[in-house]
Amino acid sequence: MTTPLACLAVVALLPYLLAALGGYLTYAQLGSLDNKNPRQQRMRLEGAAARAVAAQANAWEALPLFTAGVVISHLAGADAASAAWWSKLFVATRVLHAILYIADLDKLRSLVFVVGLICVAALVVISA
């Protein structure tokens, strides 16, 4: 397995890890998990629990974009070392993004988000 594909696997697992954290924080805040109406329950969340749920949603949203970048770089035969570097940096940005989201550090989170977008763009550019 190449480094970009391994990074893709990590990025694909991140929303599930954030779901587990969100469930834990939801239980801590509300005292139960409503499996019949989880989306209604999420609307009552505040603070770190609400931000963990939002970080999970953002992780899902980032996954297809990174997937496209990795697939494009593979199909185009992009330089493996460059693709690996940009992919590893993307993973770092996504982990840091989730941490900053939950910690309520919005400006840093937005900066890290932009760096992640640059990583995906770079995967496409090196494929040209």
| Total domains, the chain | 1
CB 70 within 8 A of CB 123: yes
46: containing domain: 3-125
* Each residue's pLDDT tens digit, 49-70: 999 999 999 999 999 999 999 9
The model's pTM: 0.94
The structure tokens 């999970």 sit at 56
pLDDT at 27 (0 to 100): 96
- How far CA 110 is from CA of 22, 37, 58, 105, in Å, comes to 20, 31, 12, 9
Q: What is the CATH number of the domain that holds 40?
A: 1.20.120.550
